[in-house]
Structure 1
């Protein structure tokens, strides 16, 4: 008994004296598969952490721990240390994050878009405070790709959305956006979407091209429409109590791994949309891929002001501040 006590005390003294943190296993869940964008980001994060420390990162792709709301709750409870999740699912918790669903707000130009995500004051200063209020440390936000609409009928104007049930995430502003487009938005958990499209519970859905390809949504849809209305945004978060309790060197380790994964995922995405569309058309030659002209986009673009007004109503106490700063950030990125 005396020998064990002395050994434990000696070990503690050695660790404190050297300043070395004990190796831990950190659990990280995300909304996609390992070979999709969030999975590629997560693997790079894991690689960086494990190459520069004795810690291990366990990755949990979509479905292994439940739906998106489940993994967020598990992170807030401290069961998971990290979660990668779209503001589409955190909108009810952090209403200001719904700003990413105002249509035609984010730029289509890739360089400008990437510059915005790197330098945005909204992302780097305002959102961390809002996420912290919910027990989350916001580590980064990044884009995943141009959002496209898949449907069982061609979409060329708001009139074409009449009576079309579009599957959307459980996000009030996304619902408002598709209502403004003339569609019937239908919130549905992702695990039910393929079957819903197959059986007619929903007629359409939106996602980036890589996700449409990897989940084989094109098998149960006949048309893809590039409306240019948005780019899918996601966020990496940590449980704040966990993060704040780490030694400074581990916090720096996580920030560095996040930065490396951010750079990696932007590089990975270059050309991804076009290669994914090519793969879809090769797998299903009958599918149509239509890019709407500026003239065709105009009536959709005209709904942005209406959706902005809705955001200011439901986007939380700092909605106006977030919208104003985001527009200033986007202007700076365009210069």
Structure 2
């Protein structure tokens, strides 16, 4: 465990939490702030669990228990009962989860996207055994919003990313994707990104608009580019030993809370992207916001095949099955 990364406050919270476990207190950590998408989902999950059981859910937003690697280790060891983490950080642990970083694989159409996440056999049937092998019960995955690039220089083509040190999550396929885009991918923990942009160690990063706005990434970059290459995906998991040891009644409470929170967070995101872009422009009027045309996107889209091939090479033993099923699920979501 990376206890050195924990603050005195978070260590105290863990100690208190451990004592409260006998009183049916469940601990849930996530990678964002309370008022960001994962935090809103977690609050709805907590509300549903507490309304329908005698359990209490204790929430730990980003930073209170360390970085993403720390909360994953804590979830696997049973210190945490629940964790929300993007496949961007679990890609090394569960290689098949890197499929979500094949560019232009997920649809831009919101209705198709939601249908995919709600009904995907890859998510609901193929991924759970892979997570179980790592001591995790996969409860759900959900989209958080269109991924956008923020950079210190304008981007209209892969050539504009040449030699740009671009922060990516610690995910091998995302590294390959940005290499294919022409950038110099630089994996960094989230807590180091603002300072690295401020000091010029890196010159770009990607995230959904709400996160760019709430974390003020626009303060240390000058250009926001909508290349339409992805939608940020996250996964909610439980410690498997904890989950398997629950009564059927408690499992049902968790499953129902998961479903209710999924519906809530999809509704919550309606209009959130455009609202966040407007807030960014209001806070920094000189920030350019560029939506690439289909012609401009073409060379970025042309990299997808090579990145997909790399996924099949590094994406684990089930990579082909996962990719094939996802494509079938996406075709079904599109009505094909």
Instruction: Report the TM-score when normalising by structure 2.
Output: 0.93
Aligned to 1:30: 30
Which residue of 2 is the match for residue 119 of structure 1? 119
Aligned to 1:40: 40
What is residue 263 of structure 1 aligned with on the other side? 263
Q: C-alpha offsets along residues 63-88 of structure 1, whole Å, 9 cap, x if unaligned?
A: 00000000000000000000000000
Asked if 2 retains the 8 angstrom alpha-carbon contact of 1:102 and 1:177, the reply is yes
How many residues matched? 314
The whole-number CA distance in structure 2 between the counterparts of 1:127 and 1:242 is: 19
**Within 5 Å, which residues of 2 pair with 1:148-167?**
148-167=148-167
Please list the CA deviations of residues 175-213 of structure 1 after superposition, one character each: whole Å capped at 9, or x if unmatched: 000000000000011000000000011000000000000
Counterpart CA distance in 2 for 1:317 and 1:49 is 36
1:247-326 correspondence runs (5 A): 247-326=247-326
CA distance in 2, matches of 1:163, 1:317: 33
Deviation at 1:23, TM superposition (A): 5.1
Deviations 1:207-231 (A, max 9, x none): 0000000000000110000000000
Structure 1 residue 98 displacement after superposition = 0.1
Q: How much does 1:149 deviate?
A: 0.1
Alignment deviations for residues 238-297 of structure 1 (CA, whole Å, 9 cap, x no partner): 000000000000000000000000000000001000000000000000000000000000
The higher radius of gyration belongs to 1
For 1:168-187, list aligned pairs within 5 A. Answer: 168-187=168-187
Provide the C-alpha distance between the structure 1 equivalents of 2:109 and 2:253, rounded to a whole number of angstroms. 32
Q: Distance in 1 between matches of 2:162 and 2:71?
A: 35
Which structure 2 residue ranges, 5 or more long, are not aligned?
1-21
Whole-angstrom distance in 1 between the partners of 2:122 and 2:198: 40
SS at match of 1:147: strand
Q: Secondary structure at the match of 2:70?
A: helix
For residues 23 and 139 of structure 1, the distance between their equivalents in structure 2, rounded to whole angstroms, comes to 23
CA distance in 1, matches of 2:23, 2:162: 56
**In 2, are the aligned partners of 1:169 and 1:189 still within 8 Å (CA)?**
yes
| Cross-structure match for 1:215 | 215
1:139 aligns with 139
1:206 is paired with a residue whose SS is strand
Secondary structure at the counterpart of residue 163 of structure 1: coil
After TM superposition, the runs of 4+ consecutive aligned structure 1 residues lying more than 2 A away are none
> 2:18 matched to which residue of 1?
none
What's the counterpart of residue 13 of structure 1?
none
Task: Tell me whether 1:52 sits opposite 2:44 in the alignment.
Answer: no
Question: In the aligned structure 1, how far is the partner of 2:155 from the partner of 2:39?
Answer: 31
Give the match for residue 16 of structure 1: none
Q: Secondary structure, in 3 states, of the residue corresponding to 1:182?
A: coil
DSSP 3-state at the match of 2:145: strand
Equivalent residue, structure 1, for 2:82? 82
Partner of 2:15 in structure 1? none
Q: Is 1:66 paired with 2:54?
A: no
In the aligned structure 2, how far is the partner of 1:247 from the partner of 1:320?
36
Separation in structure 2 between the aligned mates of residue 86 and residue 189 of structure 1, nearest angstrom: 13
Give the aligned partner of residue 18 of structure 1: none
